[in-house]
């Protein structure tokens, strides 16, 4: 548990510091680029997000969860990720004209020309990065990710200021990936750079097919709106929607990604030792995760307009109601966010694929129908989709991990109480601050401070499991400081 906690500290540290850099960069870029320019890049990024699943073909997750990872299996992993990444690069390059013509936007061609290069570089970094995760070397991962985030942000802001428009984001993506690859080559585990051997691909193939299929469906689900909105409502509307979703993703990229990065190897390692211990760990993980996620997303849902005005300026205020709707959907998805990692840790990749195949039609058809109305209706589809996903994931966890709906309620009841106290305090504080006629630039920080204080006090009052984790982190920090 101590090693997991230490890994989580490094992972959260990287994500928090990295997110501060990304947030500052986004605030500047929102004032240098128009919604249309953001929309152009966002559409290309969505296409690459879908293609990136087949680019990796589940190799990273295979390396993390494989019990007996031999050099032969690792060489097969290198071969498979090289083959799929380069095939996807070629496919994207030669289809870029068709993509641009479909959206009647020639600018998409220039962006895709640059982003395709990412796929060529990718095989040099992916297996090495997966090995760092498998061995839980999150201190080295911190250096790799945080450094590449700074390079990406500096490149984007500098080029946007120089007038490179949407191309500043494309070049920033390439620069960040290239720098990240260089650092991974330096920090990779000893003897991990193995010559790809296509004859060893069968070791990885079956897992890769199952995992990449389910991940591709999940990624298509989370990006299909980009293609529909871009076609139906135009690039400006897409830019507005992308910023609203980006505000929600501040949490996913910051906390969720940090937690799930540690959760995958931690769940797999725990399951290899004891299934009963995995049940205990998962229950606690759900409790800790929801007590962080629910107050955050409730705050965003209530105060999206102030948040967007303060961070991005008044030209983006149309994104506020969209952000509120998406934040409500995030309250639901937070409950099952760790479920895919638990299923994969137990080797139930097929079940994860089955879940994805059931969720996909609901979400994609819902987006298609909602696009006949407006982007608000499109955003509301997430609430329906994640409600279905919650039921499906917990059904499969009941069958595989004996994590029933009763366990789910027990695990999240404390988080619900903390959230209720926190948000009630927010509503009361907001009324008092508005009566004082303070400027929004003052109200929002005071609201955030009030919410943080109410959260901390309610966690202690209700003796929520996250309190123990906070104390353990504090003790570990003091111990490390004393040894230094």
Q: Do 341 and 264 touch, CB atoms closer than 8 A?
A: yes
Which pLDDT does position 33 carry in this prediction? 92
pTM: 0.75
Same domain for 59 and 122, yes or no, is yes
Same domain for 210 and 286, yes or no, is no
Same domain for 74 and 37, yes or no, is yes
**Beta-carbon contacts of residue 414 (< 8 Å; ≥ 6 apart):** 287, 291, 462, 464, 465
Asked if the structure places residue 226 within a domain, the reply is no
Residue where a domain terminates, one of 191, 217, 243: 217
Domain count for the chain: 2
Asked if the structure places residue 58 within a domain, the reply is yes
Same domain for 245 and 204, yes or no, is no
Asked if the structure places residue 296 within a domain, the reply is yes
For 254-271, how does the pLDDT look when each residue is reduced to its tens digit (9 = 90+)? 666 656 656 666 776 677
Which pLDDT does position 167 carry in this prediction? 95
Which pLDDT does position 64 carry in this prediction? 66
Handedness of CA 306, 308, 310, 315 (dihedral sign): negative
Which pLDDT does position 61 carry in this prediction? 67
CA distance 122 to 171: 16
Asked if the structure places residue 409 within a domain, the reply is yes
Burial class (CB in 10 A: 0-12, 13-18, 19+), 98: exposed
Residue where a domain terminates, one of 165, 187, 217: 217
Asked if the structure places residue 113 within a domain, the reply is yes
Same domain for 6 and 63, yes or no, is yes
Q: How many helices (H) and strands (E) does the chain have?
A: 20, 0
Same domain for 213 and 250, yes or no, is no
Which pLDDT does position 141 carry in this prediction? 77
CA distance 118 to 177: 7
Asked if the structure places residue 228 within a domain, the reply is no
Q: Which domain holds residue 37?
A: 1-217
Which pLDDT does position 60 carry in this prediction? 67
Same domain for 304 and 428, yes or no, is yes
Same domain for 237 and 212, yes or no, is no
Asked if the structure places residue 222 within a domain, the reply is no
**pLDDT beneath 70: ranges in the chain:** 1-16, 53-62, 64-67, 69-70, 130, 133-138, 189-197, 199-200, 203, 205-206, 208-211, 214, 251, 253-265, 268-269, 272, 469, 472-484
Which pLDDT does position 260 carry in this prediction? 62
Residue where a domain terminates, one of 192, 217, 242: 217
Same domain for 198 and 238, yes or no, is no
Same domain for 307 and 449, yes or no, is yes
Same domain for 443 and 337, yes or no, is yes
Asked if the structure places residue 224 within a domain, the reply is no
Same domain for 114 and 243, yes or no, is no
């Amino acid at each position: 548990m101590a090693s997991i906690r230490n890994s989580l500290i490094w992972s959260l540290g990287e994500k928090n510091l990295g997110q501060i850099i990304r947030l500052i960069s986004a605030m500047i870029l929102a004032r240098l680029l128009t919604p249309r320019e953001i929309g152009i890049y966002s559409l290309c990024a969505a296409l690459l997000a879908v293609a990136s699943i087949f680019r990796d073909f589940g190799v990273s997750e295979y390396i993390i969860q494989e019990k007996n990872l031999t050099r032969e299996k690792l060489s097969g992993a290198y071969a498979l990720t090289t083959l799929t990444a380069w095939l996807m690069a070629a496919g994207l390059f030669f289809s870029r004209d068709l993509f641009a013509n479909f959206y009647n936007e020639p600018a998409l061609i220039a962006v895709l020309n640059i982003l395709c290069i990412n796929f060529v570089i990718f095989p040099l970094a992916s297996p090495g990065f997966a090995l760092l995760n498998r061995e839980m070397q999150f201190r080295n991962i911190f250096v790799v990710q945080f450094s590449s985030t700074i390079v990406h942000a500096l490149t984007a802001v500098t080029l946007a200021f120089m007038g490179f428009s949407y191309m500043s984001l494309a070049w920033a993506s390439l620069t960040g990936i290239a720098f990240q690859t260089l650092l991974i080559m330096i920090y990779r585990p000893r003897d991990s750079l193995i010559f790809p051997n296509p004859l060893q691909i069968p070791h990885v193939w079956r897992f890769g097919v199952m995992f990449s299929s389910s991940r591709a469906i999940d990624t298509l689900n989370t990006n299909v709106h980009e293609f529909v909105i871009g076609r139906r409502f135009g690039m400006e509307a897409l830019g507005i929607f992308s910023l609203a979703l980006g505000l929600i993703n501040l949490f996913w990229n910051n906390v969720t990604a940090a937690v799930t990065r540690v959760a995958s190897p931690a769940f797999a390692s725990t399951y290899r030792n004891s299934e009963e211990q995995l049940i205990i760990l998962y229950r606690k993980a759900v409790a800790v995760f929801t007590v962080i996620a629910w107050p955050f997303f409730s705050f965003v849902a209530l105060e999206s307009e102030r948040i967007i005005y303060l961070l991005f300026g008044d030209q983006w205020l149309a994104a506020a109601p969209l952000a509120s709707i998406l934040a409500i959907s995030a309250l639901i998805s937070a409950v099952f966010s760790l479920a895919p990692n638990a299923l994969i840790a137990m080797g139930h990749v097929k079940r994860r694929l089955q879940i994805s195949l059931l969720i996909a039609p609901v979400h994609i058809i819902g987006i298609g129908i909602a696009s006949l109305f407006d982007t608000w209706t499109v955003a509301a589809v997430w609430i329906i989709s994640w409600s279905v996903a919650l039921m499906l994931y917990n059904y499969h966890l009941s069958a595989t991990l004996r994590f029933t709906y009763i366990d789910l309620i027990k695990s999240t009841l404390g988080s619900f109480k903390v959230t209720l106290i926190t948000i009630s305090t927010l509503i009361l504080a907001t009324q008092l601050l508005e009566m004082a006629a303070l400027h929004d630039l003052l109200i929002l920080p005071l609201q955030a401070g009030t919410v943080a204080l109410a959260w901390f006090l309610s966690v202690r009052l209700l003796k929520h499991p996250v309190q123990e984790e906070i104390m353990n982190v504090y003790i570990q920090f003091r111990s490390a400081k004393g040894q230094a």
